[in-house]
Amino acid sequence: MTTPAPVCPVPAGYTSLTPFLCCRPASRAVDFYVEVLGAEVVSRNDLPDGTVAHCELQLASGRLQLSDPAPDHHVVAPTGDEDVSRSTVAYVDDVDAVYAAAVAAGARGYGEPSTFVTGDRYAAFLDPFGHRWAVMTRVEEVDPAEAARRVDAWLQDGLQDGLEEAVSDGAAGRTG
């Protein structure tokens, strides 16, 4: 009797973390992610009314799943407000091109791409379906200890700038 081959707990093509997004309408979201992120549709199951019950997209090195809202399963789309409770990070070949494509396709940008202290060129946008994306391209190899030092210095500078602004605002608001 042969022993069955062990089953890998993570299926081929997946990583151990696979985001699932609820989008309204999901069919337009599929088109947006294909156009902007270069995703490829792996599978898609539509309901008779045309809504997307489940869709899987392959990105450069990971999968993304999405659907239309499914209230019976407690899956609802975001409201589209600028303030969100989560952000999806995607490393891409050209952050500037992806950001430009996203904005051209209706995303709300959070500032032009810039190079962050960790060696990543970075930009963020809110897609037309209410999901925040941070897109990055590695442009400099930075040793982890050096990256930590740079981030600490960046945070300290930001805290110092915030403190100076608060003191300035407080002084400007005083009378007498």
Q: Which residue has the higher pLDDT, 8 or 170?
A: 8
Whether 11 contacts 18, CB under 8 Å? no
With beta carbons less than 8 A apart as the criterion, state whether 121 and 142 touch.
no
Beta strands, E only, 73-119? 87-91, 108-109, 114-115
What does the pLDDT look like over 101-114, one tens digit per residue? 999 999 999 999 99
CA–CA separation, 116 vs 124, rounded Å?
A: 12
Identical fold at 17-77 and 82-165? yes
Beta bridge partners of 115: 121
Candidates 27, 18, 32; CA nearest to 50 is: 27
Give the model confidence (pLDDT) of 15-32 as tens digits. 888 999 999 999 999 999
Q: What is the pTM of this model?
A: 0.82
State how far the Cα of 130 lies from the Cα of 107, in Å rounded to an integer.
9
Domain 82-165: state its class: alpha beta
Domain boundaries, the chain: 17-77, 82-165
CATH class of 17-77: alpha beta
